Structure 1
Amino acid sequence: MLADDSYSTTSTNVELACIPDDTTGLERIMLAAQGDLQRLMSSYFGRPIFIELIYAHCSSRLTPASPENPITQSRQVHLVCASCTVCIATSTVTITSPQCERLFLDEKFPIGQTFRRLNRTPKFSLLNVETKAINGKRELRRTYKLETEGFVAEILEVFPDRDMFVRGEAWLMERGANLDTTCTIATDKKPEWLSVRKGNVVH
């Protein structure tokens, strides 16, 4: 596990292992986000962050969700601020309770807001962090898992340009002035680990 979150009566300590050496403090905050990334990014940019659904493929719902009859969904959303995509989140969700099924599939709360509506703090596991250079932009990626009773999500998040965490408002304005520049990555191809399988195991 790449993230260790510990606390006592007098201290709190968050340790992130195996992250790039040049990771900034602000990037570490985003990498450690536990279902509240949209809220943190709204605080950072000082603007609303909107969820744009790209696709959502759900297994059949013949019976209410349960451990014996889990419902799975593969989905991708873009987190959009000032008309620019600031994060691409591709996930597999496994639902095993009727309450979570109602919130997520019927009322259509995003993953983070589903945990907030449940009034639960999910178990957080950071699985991988990497950086890549794509079309002249420095991407930051993380793969992680959020778990609570009845609801599990494994998520790949891509921040398409690390300069957003350095330049903030100026970065948004530059992208907003030229929407033809590359603010997003391809959205149609699902990562191999996001294949939906039967049962209650998320891969």
Structure 2
Amino acid sequence: MLAVDSYSTASTNVELACVPDDTTGLERIMLAAQGDLQRLLSSYFARPIFIELIYAHCSPRLSPASPNNPISQSRQVHLVCASRTVCIATSTVTITSPDCERLFLDEKFPIGQTFRQLRRHPKFSLLNVETRATDGKRELRRTYKLETEGFVAEILEVFPDRDMFVRGEAWLAERKDDLEITCASSTDTKPEWLSVRKGNTVH
């Protein structure tokens, strides 16, 4: 097991094994999140974190979810802050409880909020952690499982740019600044089709 969470009357200890050597303290907090990542990201950025559904493919719902009639869904969502994607989460959810089916599929609570609505603390298993370089960005990835009676989710989360955990607010503003510069450049440059030729002079 890559994550061990233990406690006694006098201490609490969270051990994360097999994480990259250069993982920062803040990144370790995110890697240990147990269904509350959206809340932690909102605390870090001091802004709302919105969930954008990219796709959700559900198995047929011919009868209420039960151990004999599990309902599954594969889905991907983007966690977005200030118009920037801070995490891409791809998951497979298995539901065997009518209450979980109602909350997740009918009322459409995200995975983390489903556990909060159930008032349950899920069993957490960290399955894998890795880093990659993609398009000049440093990605941080984790695969993990959250389980409670009637509801199991296996999730791959990709943090697309580890600089977000170093630069914070400046990282959030970076894309906005780039867009403003691009728009200003487009405005300052006179399109060729607007040029009017009179004699040898272009106006």
Measured against the shorter chain, the TM-score band is 0.7 to 0.9
Please identify which structure carries the higher helix content: 2
Q: 1:1-203 counterparts in 2 under 5 A?
A: 1-178=1-178
Matching residue's letter, 1:24: T
- Alpha-carbon deviation of 1:179? 5.6
Residues 134 and 72 of structure 1, relative CA distance in 2, 3 Å threshold = same
**Alpha-carbon offset, residue 63 of structure 1:** 0.4
Q: Secondary structure at the match of 2:64?
A: coil
* DSSP-derived class of the 2:100 partner: helix
d(CA) in 2 for partners of 1:46 and 1:36?
Answer: 15
SS in 2 for 1:178: helix
Deviation at 1:96, TM superposition (A): 0.1
Distance 1:178 1:101 in 2: 43
Say whether the 8 Å CA contact 1:84–1:176 is kept in structure 2: no
CA–CA separation in structure 1 for the residues paired with 2:91 and 2:178: 29
Number of corresponding residues: 180
Which string of whole-angstrom CA distances, capped at 9 and with x for unpartnered residues, describes residues 130-178 of structure 1? 0000010000000000000000000000000000000000000002333
How has the CA–CA distance of structure 1 residues 177 and 12 changed in structure 2, closer, same or farther, with 3 Å as cutoff? same
The runs of 5 or more residues in structure 1 that have no matched partner are: 181-203
Rounded Cα–Cα distance in structure 1 between residues aligned with 2:178 and 2:98? 45
Give me the CA root mean square deviation: 1.0
1:197 aligned partner: none
SS at match of 2:153: strand
More relative contact order, 1 or 2 (CA 8 Å, 6+ apart): 1
TM-score in terms of structure 2 length: 0.88
In structure 2, list runs of 5 or more residues that go unmatched. 181-203
